[in-house]
């Protein structure tokens, strides 16, 4: 599922849920790292996907305008 995940179709509602989890004090890179290697990888993936969402949200209107011109 993660390989086929389309990060371009994330909604602000989903990102609000992700932000709620990531801003919770119980979730951190250090805690994921101490839990397992898999948890560390998933934590990094979620953070990278979150960063991509905000960059894409900023760039998308400019990209669309460029494509129309």
Predicted local confidence at residue 23, as pLDDT: 86
Which tens digits make up the pLDDT trace of 17-69? 999 988 887 888 888 899 999 999 999 999 999 999 999 889 888 888 888 87
Predicted local confidence at residue 44, as pLDDT: 92
Q: Looking at the predicted structure, is the pLDDT value of residue 9 above 80? A: yes
* pTM attached to this predicted model: 0.76
Token match 């839990």: residue?
35
Predicted local confidence at residue 48, as pLDDT: 93
Please give the distance of CA 33 from its chain centroid, rounded to a whole number. 18
Q: Can you tell me the mean pLDDT for 8-19?
A: 90
């Amino acid at each position: 599922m993660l390989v086929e995940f389309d990060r371009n179709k994330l909604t602000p509602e989903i990102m609000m849920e992700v932000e709620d989890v990531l801003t919770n004090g119980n979730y951190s890179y250090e805690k994921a790292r101490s839990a397992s290697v898999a948890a560390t990888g998933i934590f990094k993936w979620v953070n990278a996907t979150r960063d991509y969402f905000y960059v894409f949200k900023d760039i998308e209107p400019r990209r669309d305008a460029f494509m129309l011109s």
